Structure 1
């Protein structure tokens, strides 16, 4: 208002010729601001268009033919999206290890412990809040009441093909934290397998054999062991920090590696609008029918969606506001690129490079915080998954007519929390850990098939909430650690360059060369 008053006052005092010059310049200034806004948020706008284009393309392709699309035809549609997803996943390993090692090795150990403690405290608070919220909503709304459980078994459902107990799953989680071979941890993770008894063993048995009586074996399942790599990176970072000057060459190497990965990430994310469009279009073609969303699973779908919305846009922003005493709207808006990509890829790990980029460049989060907190958060902080698993377990029990006791509800809350920590940051990983939660209340693992029809879409929403929760947590930890970080004399190379950029020591040409996507 004051600017408009001053402008009008100046117009009255200036001669007519000068007044006309000011008026001529006003539209030009407005145009420049509009172009600057579009240039700044271009990737976000393009990614949003990619989501909408994927939905429209999927609907058009489904309507173009009466018969069902074959798996091979769907593969052709999703080819571009699969390439984009693989490019993102390719960056996960070097980015996680370099980020954690640099973040811990570049600051003193006492501060690392305090940052880690604040992050874990936030993760536990939000995860427990998500589980309790999901259980309360499911008990109040009763989405499974009156639902007829008549869904076909999915022959390709991998979660029902392996037998295991809750104890085995929790022990596997701890085993994977200490991999026997780091090279193997990059491509495989440990998994306990229970072998069913033979017919002769069943005949000789004097009692009914349960899963706990089956023979125990193990195998290494394909998939990156993120938990083991995170633990090793933390220990390696602590070692470099204790080495002092002797560890500086190693620290510089991992700092340069992390900076290089962020530059590559900047190139890759410009493909995200195209990749997201084809990924969503392919999922639209895979879905049996749209009527399932408003039919027998409609109440379950809406219950999970309501819980995710309340937790993601009310509960965690409330924590952020209380902790930082600032409103979270601008912070969340600056994370739009990462959130849209999380929705499109359904993978918090694949979104990790972009999340860190948005935090550092748009929300001014210290890289030593974001590169330490975010990789750990993407591994153990799965608020959306925890909420979804609690709701799904109670929903399935309601469908089966089972009345859960208070003890069983508490068991679901504990198991959902543990399962969300062990869930991999990949699409539909929650279905695997869902079996663990069902086992807690004695429900058959095959009941996972009751929710498969809508899980692909809910997976995208809960991944978005996971990424949002991790980002807000990084903002909270950065707020409480800011004064301590400012007192540190040693700043990693990448952070020094950022500080020089902010103070004007680097030329605009150098900054543009370092940040402009190729």
Structure 2
């Protein structure tokens, strides 16, 4: 049985046991605690090694400061930021988690609410580098990882190769341990759900709340796909956006079916180059890079999920906290390539940053499969849109330009 079906089975059994046998919760809750502790243990090494290795890899392959690479990364960050703020707006308007209250409030809202923008900026610089790693202080670790990743390629060749091997080996080792922990996720999720359902006063309300969460994420993904990205293509780059969407039907259906942007990479490359008419120079650069760092749908989901969890636990998040969630979601989305069950691990990282209970993951993991299919399709569509945007900004004439004179190419090269 595939892992996502094992997790779904654990979710269902946990709900049944939590409803029918709530007295067993104290005897098995420690299993969920072990699983959450294991995830928490991996947060710092995943952040550090993945960010360092990603930045070193980008610079080593020549992506670093070149005009095309910088432009592509800026476009990817822009589309992810739009997706994040769409999710942030919807989850605050709809408030899908406000209809329930899960157990006791395990967080300390007073401590979190006292964090101001000044405090967050000051805390980015640790007084002690090693202390930042030992106390799961995520923000300084992110800064340290960026500084290390940017500077390793600039040192002497011998030291550069040694450190690159060290960080890449550390990432591989961390991912192996992560896969081992993830194998036990069905059991951990089972124990967490038993605890949550046994403490929930309104089971029907809990189910309705989960449905509202799914609808909120789906609405956000739909708005990003069918409103914002087409508007950018049409009015920002004068592209026939509907024809572009139809041209991408094959990779989008494959992404939705497989829930894997990597598996659909050949289809995506073919569609962008041969149907839209983007040059191979840009296609072969932007699409593989996007598959690794551009996660519009994933970033939106993480933002909605974390705020939903806070609402379900009755924790009021300040605007500063919510901006921190947006910022961390953006960084995690960029650095999540190759991480097993990236959404689960990313969520644990973001929850840790804002001081929310990791147990809240159990609320959303059961419906993650269907949302995974949706967000993967959005991730792939975002990659294709950025490829077109880069091509137009480079003055290329595309095949879809010829469909209607209304959408003439911008800055056409003579």
Q: Tell me if TM exceeds 0.5.
A: yes
In 2, are the aligned partners of 1:305 and 1:461 still within 8 Å (CA)?
Answer: yes
2:66 is paired with a residue whose SS is helix
Match of 2:100 among 147, 157, 165: 147
Structure 1 unaligned segments of length 5 or more: list them.
Answer: 1-57, 63-99, 151-161, 192-218, 225-285, 486-518
In 1, are the aligned partners of 2:101 and 2:314 still within 8 Å (CA)?
Answer: no
Counterpart of 2:380 in structure 1 is 467
Counterpart of 2:139 in structure 1 is 167
2:175 is paired with a residue whose SS is strand
Asked if residue 131 in structure 1 is aligned to residue 84 in structure 2, the reply is yes
Counterpart of 1:434 in structure 2 is 347
Larger CA Rg, structure 1 vs 2: 1
For residues 102-121 of structure 1, the C-alpha deviation after alignment (integer angstroms, 9 at most, x for no partner) is x979xxx9xx8232232122
Tell me by how many angstroms 1:398 deviates: 0.4
Tell me by how many angstroms 1:408 deviates: 0.9
Tell me by how many angstroms 1:292 deviates: 11
Counterpart of 1:458 in structure 2 is 371
For residues 51-96 of structure 1, the C-alpha deviation after alignment (integer angstroms, 9 at most, x for no partner) is xxxxxxx9xxx9xxxxxxxxxxxxxxxxxxxxxxxxxxxxxxxxxx
Q: Could you say if the C-alpha distance between residues 372 and 173 of structure 1 is closer, same or farther in structure 2, counting changes exceeding 3 Å? A: farther
In 1, are the aligned partners of 2:255 and 2:380 still within 8 Å (CA)?
Answer: yes
Q: How far apart, in 2, do the equivalents of 1:464 and 1:163 lie?
A: 37
In 2, are the aligned partners of 1:359 and 1:471 still within 8 Å (CA)?
Answer: yes
Match of 1:313 among 218, 221, 226: 226
Q: How far apart, in 2, do the equivalents of 1:428 and 1:413 lie?
A: 20
Tell me by how many angstroms 1:137 deviates: 0.3
Q: How far apart, in 2, do the equivalents of 1:181 and 1:292 lie?
A: 52
1:467 is paired with a residue whose SS is helix
In 2, are the aligned partners of 1:384 and 1:462 still within 8 Å (CA)?
Answer: yes
Q: How far apart, in 1, do the equivalents of 2:268 and 2:216 lie?
A: 27
Tell me by how many angstroms 1:163 deviates: 8.8
- The two structures have a TM-score, normalised by structure 1, of 0.48
- The two structures have a TM-score, normalised by structure 2, of 0.60
Q: How far apart, in 2, do the equivalents of 1:142 and 1:411 lie?
A: 19
In 2, are the aligned partners of 1:348 and 1:425 still within 8 Å (CA)?
Answer: no
In 2, are the aligned partners of 1:148 and 1:296 still within 8 Å (CA)?
Answer: no
Tell me by how many angstroms 1:423 deviates: 1.5
Q: How far apart, in 1, do the equivalents of 2:266 and 2:171 lie?
A: 26
Counterpart of 1:81 in structure 2 is none
Counterpart of 1:222 in structure 2 is 176
Counterpart of 1:190 in structure 2 is 171
Q: Could you say if the C-alpha distance between residues 173 and 463 of structure 1 is closer, same or farther in structure 2, counting changes exceeding 3 Å? A: farther
User: How well do the aligned residues superpose, as a CA RMSD in angstroms?
Assistant: 3.9
Asked if residue 324 in structure 1 is aligned to residue 278 in structure 2, the reply is no
For residues 466-516 of structure 1, the C-alpha deviation after alignment (integer angstroms, 9 at most, x for no partner) is 11001010011111213599xxxxxxxxxxxxxxxxxxxxxxxxxxxxxxx
In 1, are the aligned partners of 2:90 and 2:216 still within 8 Å (CA)?
Answer: yes
List aligned pairs for 1:15-34, cutoff 5 A.
none
Counterpart of 1:349 in structure 2 is 262
Q: How far apart, in 2, do the equivalents of 1:338 and 1:386 lie?
A: 20
Counterpart of 1:380 in structure 2 is 293
Q: Could you say if the C-alpha distance between residues 176 and 456 of structure 1 is closer, same or farther in structure 2, counting changes exceeding 3 Å? A: farther
Residues matched between the structures, number: 284
Tell me by how many angstroms 1:386 deviates: 1.1
